[in-house]
Amino acid sequence: MTDATHTPSDGPMLTADGIPLKKSLQIALRRQKLRALVLIAPLLLFVLISFIAPIADMLFRSVENDIVSQTVPRTVIALQSWDYDDGKAAAPDNDVFAALYVDLSEAEEFKTHTRLGSRLNYETTGMSSLMRKTGRGIGRMDTDKYTEQFEALDTKWAEPAVWVVLMEQPGIADALPETASAWKSWQRIVANKGDVLAEEQPDAFIYTTLYRDLVKQPATAIAAYTGAEADLLKFADSAVDGFETVSLKDQFIKMDKDWASPQVWGTIKAFSSPYTAGYFLASVDLQLTPAGIEEQPENQKVYMLLFGRTMFMSMVIMGSCILLGYPIAYLLSNLPLRTSNLLLILVLLPFWTSLLVRTSAWKVLLQQQGVINDVLVWLGLVSEGDRLVMINNQFGTIVAMTHILLPFMILPLYSVMKTIPQTYVRAAKSLGATDWTAFWRVYFPQSVPGIGAGSILVFILSIGYYITPELVGGTTGTFISNRIAYHISSSLNWGLAAALGTILLAVVLLLYWVYDRIVGIDNVSLG
């Protein structure tokens, strides 16, 4: 024994090819796992791409809010020094308006200002038309006075080529920071129009920022600039103090007096960060205002009520499905196969009928001039004047949805009951149990997994239901999903819809967890 490692006593056990057994096993297991992974990869990818990713993307919208900081980036930065101060603050100063002027000049070209308006209109009424109006007026402000004054100083200022040379000099951003920043916007505007930069005279907003830079920048900063056209710049710097000025703030307020309102500015500031909790707050009847988080006024609170109602009604629907479905499933599982198959087709039949047809059928049955009321009046049980109101309310929704979701309860119950041997109940009875005891103590516990599976199916389907409550729910039978649908398709407030959906998903997962803790998820069976 020269090689001590081969002895089991003082080293790991080795396989025939000299690799430690433990490692060899690991390799074999890993290979197996990999093979399994490769086998499920197509399905995994499919689910990821077509299911998980879209949902994640939709959920992400509930916090996404980069439209403000992307559309008016300079304004957002300039607003940092402004404080809303509970609405007591005055509108911000000229610097902020100058930033807004450049931002909106670019936004107007790309038509993003109206999108910003629609977004902010969800928070403050009037932002939509404010943006539309400002977009129309932004090209017609009195700022062309600056253009004229620079041109009067030296006609070179009217030449696009001179501008291009000047703005491409290194160090120009130190001398003229605002102009350099605005120039980038101008480049994008020209490119979007398909024009050539060297042929287009800059817009008035460029001259406005140039004027502002020359007035604000210390003379040394201008003097430090030594690139091309330095003399032109220095001459302008010496002359701007005599220029006639245009107050941008007044110009904006002239376009729309709302620009003087601190509420408008407070809203922009409150929603300027790229992520917002605003949608989630709105989903629970709170709101993000310039002054902080507040409760929604009493006459706008609706979401908590709807969440509660959705949960309550889904429970009721689930309960009535159990009550109605259990006896049917029991009957089906105890009949001879030929009869039960025939009956099972009757259970499945509604599945093959359009949802809309089934819902409309309930309208015909339940409405005040409907079949049921007619029969009751004919029987004399109800007088002509007090026909029962059974539709367009909670009752109608529960009836119609119970009917529609019943097969989802019956099928899992049936397949579980099918597996319960008849002999158990017979054995219980032969040992002296009454019918009830035999059922309750022996049969029922074995059917619980079916109830669990059916309940989860029915409950989860019903909290997401929207078309039936919309058609027969009236005002008291509508669900939270109806508001989600409204925000997706009508108001286009996808952020709020996403937040409501996220909350709904979270509630479902929470209930699932509670169910697991109380009943145990192992106790659910589809047969």
Partner 1 sequence: MKFKLATLLCGAALATTGVQAQDVKMADTLTLVSWGGAYQKSQIKAYSEPYQAMHPDLKIVWDESSAEAVAKLRAMNEAGNITWDLVDVVAADAIRLCDEGLAMEFDADELLLPATDGTPASEDFGDLLVSDCFIPQIVYSTTFGYRTDMVGDTPPTNICDVFDLEKYPGKRSLEKRPINNMEWALLCDGVAKADVYDVLETEEGQTRALAKLDTIKDQVVWWSAGADTPQLLADGEVVMGSTYNGRLFSVIEEQKQPVAMLWDAQVFDLDGWIIPEGLPAEHQARVEDFVKFATDTQRLADQAKYISYGPARNSSAPLVGQHADLGIDMAPHMPTDPANATNTFLYNYTWWADYRDDLDAKFQAWLAQ
Using CB under 8 A, list all residues that contact partner 1. 110-112, 114-115, 117-118, 121-122, 125-129, 132, 193-195, 299-302, 305-306, 367-370, 392, 470, 474-476, 478, 483, 488-493
| Residue whose tokens read 């998820």 | 521
Q: How far is the C-alpha of 459 from the C-alpha of 462, rounded, in Å?
A: 5
Q: Which positions ≥6 away from 441 have C-beta within 8 Å?
A: 428, 433
Reported as type and span, the H/E element at residue 521 is none
Q: At what angle do helices 480-489 and 303-334 cross, to 10 degrees?
A: 120
Closest approach of partner 1 to the CB of residue 89, in Å: 23
Of residues 212 and 309, the one with the C-beta less far from partner 1: 309
Min separation Cβ 368 and partner 1, Å: 6
Question: Is residue 179 a contact partner of residue 204, using CB atoms and an 8 Å limit?
Answer: no
Structure tokens at 318: 């689930």
Using the minimum distance from each CB to partner 1, give the nearer residue, 423 or 490.
490
Locate tokens 């079916």: which residue? 450
Residue closer to partner 1 by CB (options 113, 212) is 113
Q: Is 162 exposed, middle or buried (0-12, 13-18, 19+ CB in 10 A)?
A: middle
Nearer to partner 1, 247 or 489 (CB): 489
Report in angstroms how near the CB of residue 179 gets to partner 1 at its nearest: 26
Query: Among residues 49 and 323, whose Cβ is nearest to partner 1?
Result: 49
- Tell me the sheet residues that pair with 20: 14
Question: 275: which residues sit within 8 A by CB, 6+ positions away?
Answer: 63, 64, 65
Q: Which helix (H) or strand (E) holds 293?
A: strand 292-295
Query: Cβ 114 to partner 1, closest distance in Å?
Result: 4
Q: Identify which of residues 128 and 340 has a Cβ nearer to partner 1 in the complex.
A: 128
Positive or negative, the CA dihedral 349, 354, 359, 362 is negative
DSSP assignment of 28-92, as one string? HHHHHHHHHHHHHHHHHHHHIIIIIHHHHHHHHTTTB-HHHHHHSHHHHHHGGG---GGGTSPPP
- For residue 71, the minimal CB distance to partner 1 (Å) is 12
Residue 406, SS3? Answer: helix
Taking the C-alpha atoms of residue 147 and residue 492, their distance in angstroms, rounded to an integer, is 41
81-85-91-92 Cα dihedral, nearest 10 degrees: -10
Count of beta carbons in the 10 Å neighbourhood of residue 52? 11
**Nearer Cβ to partner 1, position 239 or 485?**
485
Closer to partner 1 by Cβ: residue 342 or 356: 356
For residue 459, the minimal CB distance to partner 1 (Å) is: 22
Return all residues near 213 (Cβ < 8 A) that are at least 6 apart. 175, 176, 177, 178, 179
Q: Which is nearer to partner 1, 36 or 52 (CB)?
A: 52
Find the shortest distance in angstroms from Cβ 308 to partner 1.
11
> How is residue 295 annotated by DSSP?
E
The nearest distance, CB 392 to partner 1, in angstroms, is: 6
Minimum CB distance to partner 1 smaller for 83 or for 200: 200
Nearer to partner 1, 129 or 340 (CB): 129
Query: Of 296 and 446, which has the nearer Cβ to partner 1?
Result: 296
Structure tokens at 75: 């304004």
CA angle 506, 510, 516 (to 5 degrees): 145
Least Cβ distance, residue 61 to partner 1 (angstroms): 11
Secondary structure in 3-state letters for 309-327: HHHHHHHHHHHHHHHHHHH
Q: How far is the CB of 91 from partner 1 (least distance, A)?
A: 20
Task: Kindly state the helix (H) or strand (E) to which residue 98 belongs, with its residue range.
Answer: helix 94-110
Q: Toward partner 1, which CB reaches closer, 269 or 487?
A: 487
Least distance (Å) from partner 1 to the CB of residue 339? 39
Write down the least CB distance from residue 500 to partner 1, Å. Answer: 13
User: Which stretches of 395-505 are assigned E, i.e. beta strand?
Assistant: none
Q: How far apart are CB 118 and partner 1 at their closest, in Å?
A: 5
Residue 334: both structure tokens together: 């105890």
